[in-house]
């Protein structure tokens, strides 16, 4: 009977040592799960800060506003610059402006782009909502067709909601009549 506690003590000691060795072996720094050294986030290939600044200047000269707040961007285009008056049909000059917007969008990493069209209330709220939905879809389809490298393009016609000025003219020359493209830059 005196031998049992002795062997029990030795067995516990051996098991404890094995667990300790196994635990220390698992913490060994000789094995690494990530053999590649960490890399810094990078931008889009063939794009530089200078090119983005130049594109910003070009858009501004075309009456397009680009507003950045952190990683969130808003591009606001007056409807009169890209659409015929009270129509969802793009002007021929509008394609050039949208191509410049596409170039700007292609210089950023993004997952989702949202296109929202606004207008003044022209004849009725229903007509205004239908017009802005058609305009948002027209811009969204054009951006998608130009391969802006995003997973999703959402479109929304907001009608005369969220005016930016109180004066309502009912014409596309009003600042309320605009297309806003929003996205968040993704740092990879």
How far is 84 from 99, CA to CA, in rounded Å? 18
Tokens found for residue 144:
């998608």
Start-to-end C-alpha separation, the chain: 68
Q: What is the pLDDT of residue 100?
A: 95
Count the domains in the chain. Answer: 1
10 in a structural domain: no
101 has pLDDT over 90: yes
Of the two residues 110 and 91, the one the predictor is more confident about is 91
CB burial class (10 A; 0-12, 13-18, 19+) of residue 101? buried
Q: What is the pLDDT of residue 76?
A: 96
Q: What is the pLDDT of residue 4?
A: 65
Cβ count near 187 (within 10 Å): 9
1 has pLDDT over 70: no
Cβ neighbours of residue 43 closer than 8 Å, sequence gap 6 or more: 107, 109
41 in a structural domain: no
163 has pLDDT over 60: yes
CATH (domain of 93): 3.30.1330.60
37 has pLDDT over 60: no
43 in a structural domain: no
How far is 74 from 97, CA to CA, in rounded Å? 15
Task: State whether the Cα torsion 30-33-35-38 is positive or negative.
Answer: negative
Residue 182: which of 132, 120, 130, 108 has the closest Cα? Answer: 108
Cβ neighbours of residue 29 closer than 8 Å, sequence gap 6 or more: none
pTM more than 0.75 = no
Q: What is the pLDDT of residue 39?
A: 46
147 has pLDDT over 80: yes
20 in a structural domain: no
Of the two residues 109 and 76, the one the predictor is more confident about is 76
Tell me which DSSP letter residue 152 carries: E
For residue 71, give its domain range: 49-185
90 in a structural domain: yes
167 in a structural domain: yes
28 in a structural domain: no
146 in a structural domain: yes
Confidence of residue 175 (pLDDT cuts 50, 70, 90): confident
Q: What is the mean pLDDT of the chain?
A: 82
């Amino acid at each position: 009977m005196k031998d049992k506690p002795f062997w029990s003590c030795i067995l516990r000691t051996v098991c404890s040592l094995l667990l300790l060795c196994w635990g220390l072996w698992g913490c060994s720094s000789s094995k690494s799960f990530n053999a590649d050294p960490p890399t810094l986030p990078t931008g889009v290939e063939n794009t530089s800060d200078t090119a983005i600044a130049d594109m910003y200047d070009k858009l501004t000269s075309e009456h397009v506003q680009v507003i950045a707040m952190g990683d969130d961007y808003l591009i606001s285009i007056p409807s009169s610059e890209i659409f015929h008056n009270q129509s969802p049909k793009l002007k021929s000059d509008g394609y050039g402006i949208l191509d410049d917007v596409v170039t700007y969008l292609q210089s950023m990493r993004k997952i989702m782009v949202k296109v929202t069209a606004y207008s003044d209330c022209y004849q009725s709220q229903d007509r205004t909502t239908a017009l802005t939905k058609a305009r948002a879809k027209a811009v969204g389809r054009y951006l998608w067709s130009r391969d802006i490298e995003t997973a999703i393009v959402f479109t929304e016609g907001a009608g005369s909601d969220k005016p930016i000025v109180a004066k309502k003219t009912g014409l596309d020359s009003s600042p309320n009549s605009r297309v806003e493209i929003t996205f968040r830059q993704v740092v990879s």
